[in-house]
């Protein structure tokens, strides 16, 4: 799906899954540039912090991508995430419009599924597809506009890569997409494997118990 996807795939191998500061502000509807500018601090959607957001586009033979904005969403009960509004158009034979979106997401305390949705339409030999790779090895894909969900063993954080492409074959036609949604749900989990937040919680509990025992002695 283009050279940028290969570059992004290489980033997955080298990008560490770092925690995000707890003071990330709530996400609000804003331009793609404003979300990219949040950098490692990111913003929060009901306990999920999205950070290090990067969006890139490539087009060929008359294809076009116009970026709109990000907005926080709750597409299904218990699912929270971001919707990327944009317009991608492959208008004629052999044209393409390609968009990649990568970011880190941290859950509270654990993420156990991912929701992916694509809005758009096609005519003739036009096709609209999206693929998503998560750093825990789980993949999601759509070969047409629609939605899908993948569940997995709980993890505290993920690096997410999405590649959405519109293309038209030699027979002609059109392919247009206008929204890409990614959301997650969280479950409680044991302290083991929770990383720094779990460790801090455990230490706080031990300190509380120690103080209580001293008072009772």
Q: What is the pLDDT of residues 169-187, one digit of tens each?
A: 999 999 999 999 999 999 8
> Residue 133's closest CA among 108, 112, 158, 162?
162
Counting Cα atoms < 13 Å in the Cβ hemisphere of 73 gives 19
* Structural contact between residues 149 and 115, judged by C-beta atoms closer than 8 angstroms: yes
Top-confidence residue, 91 or 12: 91
Counting Cα atoms < 13 Å in the Cβ hemisphere of 138 gives 20
Q: What value does the mean pLDDT take over residues 58-87? A: 97
Phi-psi category of 200—alpha, beta or left, where left has phi over 0 and alpha has psi -120 to 50? alpha
Cα gap 217→207, rounded to integer Å: 15
Q: pTM for the whole thing?
A: 0.78
Domain ranges of the chain: 3-190
At 187 the pLDDT is: 85
What percentage of the chain has pLDDT greater than the value 90?
73
Q: What value does the mean pLDDT take over residues 89-110? A: 96
At 9 the pLDDT is: 41
* Structural contact between residues 30 and 59, judged by C-beta atoms closer than 8 angstroms: no
pLDDT band at 6 (very low <50, low <70, confident <90, very high): very low
At 77 the pLDDT is: 93
At 41 the pLDDT is: 96
At 113 the pLDDT is: 96
Q: What is the pLDDT of residues 15-64, one digit of tens each?
A: 434 444 456 899 999 999 999 999 999 999 999 999 999 999 999 999 99
Q: What value does the mean pLDDT take over residues 10-19? A: 40
At 7 the pLDDT is: 37
pLDDT at 155 over 90: yes
Mean pLDDT of the chain: 83
Cα gap 42→103, rounded to integer Å: 10
Identify the helix (H) or strand (E) that includes residue 185.
strand 146-187
């Amino acid at each position: 799906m283009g050279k940028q996807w290969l570059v992004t795939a290489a980033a997955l191998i080298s990008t560490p899954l770092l925690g995000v500061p707890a003071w990330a502000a709530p996400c609000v509807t804003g331009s793609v540039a404003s979300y990219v500018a949040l950098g490692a601090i990111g913003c929060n959607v009901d306990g999920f912090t999205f950070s290090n957001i990067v969006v890139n586009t490539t087009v060929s033979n008359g294809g076009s991508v116009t970026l709109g904005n990000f907005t926080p969403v709750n597409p299904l009960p218990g699912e929270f995430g971001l919707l990327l509004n944009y317009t991608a158009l492959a208008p004629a034979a052999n044209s393409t419009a390609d968009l990649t979106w990568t970011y880190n997401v941290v859950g509270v305390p654990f993420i156990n599924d991912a929701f992916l949705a694509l809005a758009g339409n096609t005519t003739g030999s036009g096709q609209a597809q999206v693929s998503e790779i998560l750093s825990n090895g789980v993949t999601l894909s759509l070969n047409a506009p629609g939605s899908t969900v993948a569940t997995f063993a709980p993890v505290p954080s993920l690096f997410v890569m999405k590649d959405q492409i519109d293309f038209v074959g030699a027979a002609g036609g059109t392919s247009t997409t206008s929204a890409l949604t990614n959301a997650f749900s969280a479950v409680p989990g044991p302290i083991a494997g929770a990383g720094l937040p779990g460790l801090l919680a455990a230490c706080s509990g031990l300190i509380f118990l120690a103080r209580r025992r001293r008072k009772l002695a």
